Amino acid sequence: MGIDNVTYNLIKKGMDVTTLSGKVINNNISNVNTKDYKREYVNFDEALKEENSKNYELKKTSNKHMGFSADDIEVKKDNKSSMREDGNNVDIESEMTSAASNSLMYDALVKQANTRFNMRSTVIKGGN
């Protein structure tokens, strides 16, 4: 598999991870006052490392085969001790910081994908 395909797959996986992570963070924020709710999270680095190792192991018979889906991203539950007496362990400030960070990461990945598409378009058009 060429480096361009590996890079594209990593960017796409990153976008899938940040999309799911945004949903998980929003769910945590929505449940900040729910008794016994335990926050959930997506480990971005772990998901990308797993995808990177897959890119070099899988044989693909068509360029249309992606090799992964958003379904294989694991959402984990944080069952550590609760911060509050009601059993809820959501820290709203931490979740808001995570939401902002996640949004910045998604935007950076979109820009990276757009840059790659624009470069290919320029090459196809002969540099014009």
Per-residue pLDDT of the chain (128 residues; tens, 9 = 90+): 566 777 888 899 899 999 999 999 999 999 999 999 999 999 877 766 666 666 554 455 555 554 445 557 889 999 887 778 899 999 999 999 999 999 999 999 999 999 988 888 888 888 66
User: How many domains in the chain?
Assistant: 1
For residue 54, the number of C-alpha atoms closer than 13 Å in the C-beta half-sphere is: 18
Q: pTM of the prediction?
A: 0.75
Q: Give the three-class secondary structure for 49.
A: helix
Q: What is the domain range of residue 11?
A: 3-124
Show the tokens assigned to 12.
């796409």
